[in-house]
Structure 1
Amino acid sequence: MEPKIERALAITPSSRARERTIDITTTGRARRIEVWFYRVDGRIYLSSSPARRGWYANILAHPEFVFHLKNGVRADLRAVGTPVPDRAQREAVFSAIIADLNQPWNPAGIRQPVEPLEEWMQGSPLISVDFPDGDTA
């Protein structure tokens, strides 16, 4: 993988909102939308605050999508999304995401505190992202 792509995917809790902002293009009901991605324990995830999301339904129906990097590097990465149904894994990932969003420095500039963990567990989509062409961090 190109070093610049690797750097763009290597976000940390101190990464600013623009550094974690990407576009995704889903298939099926094709559309390109802007979302945030998260990195937890070396894996890339897509999620959002609790709500029903069209992008999540599209990835469930058609797991292949395009992950468009647009901060510091422009790259269109072929990706495959897998829902995370395991409660223990969801809890670990959402705990990390919420801690990231609730940190005092709050690089994303969002209103705090972020919803309680149980609300995220019940109402937020969670997709694990793999890059079959080897574009992984």
Structure 2
Amino acid sequence: MSMTDETRQALDRQRTVEITTTGRRSGRPKRIEIWRYRAAGRYWLTGSPGARDWYANLLAHPAFTLHLTDLDLRVRGRPVTDPDERARVFGAIVPTLDWAGSLESWIAGSPLVEIELA
């Protein structure tokens, strides 16, 4: 399924989104607020370096719901573990964040997931 223009515009407008993942152990829905990033023409979820429950949930159950203001999208998360791809994506995201700290710390320790439309 290709992303419609309407969906892309909604994603572009809204940086703060909510996601509902499936708990890796409980199997129950877990909804959180998170920032959506755009780099290389694609959409990403990440956060400052450290372990994240949402990331562990997506590793176990890649399908999740991305909640926008007027739209809920069933999508998949593609964890990015390749060091070169991580360096490219974080190289585009981290310099735009004045609070982010070092690029190296993000490459080494931050979760990174590409949002793929189901």
TM-score, normalized by length of structure 1?
0.76
Shift of 1:42: 0.9
Q: Which one has a larger percent strand, Structure 1 or Structure 2?
A: 2
Q: Which runs of 4+ in 1 moved over 3 A?
A: 1-4
What is the identity, as a one-letter code, of the residue corresponding to 1:129?
I
From 91, 96, 102, the counterpart of 1:100: 96
Question: Is the deviation greater in 28-37 or in 59-68?
Answer: 28-37
The question of 1:117 aligning with 2:99 is answered no
Shift of 1:2: 5.0
Shift of 1:121: 1.1
* Whole-angstrom distance in 2 between the partners of 1:21 and 1:96: 18
Q: What RMSD over aligned residues (CA atoms) do the two structures have, in Å? A: 1.5
* Whole-angstrom distance in 1 between the partners of 2:6 and 2:76: 21
Aligned to 1:38: 37
From 79, 82, 85, the counterpart of 1:83: 79
What is the percentage of aligned positions where both structures have the same residue? Answer: 48
Aligned to 1:126: 112
Q: Secondary structure of 2:10's match?
A: helix
TM-score, normalized by length of structure 2?
0.87
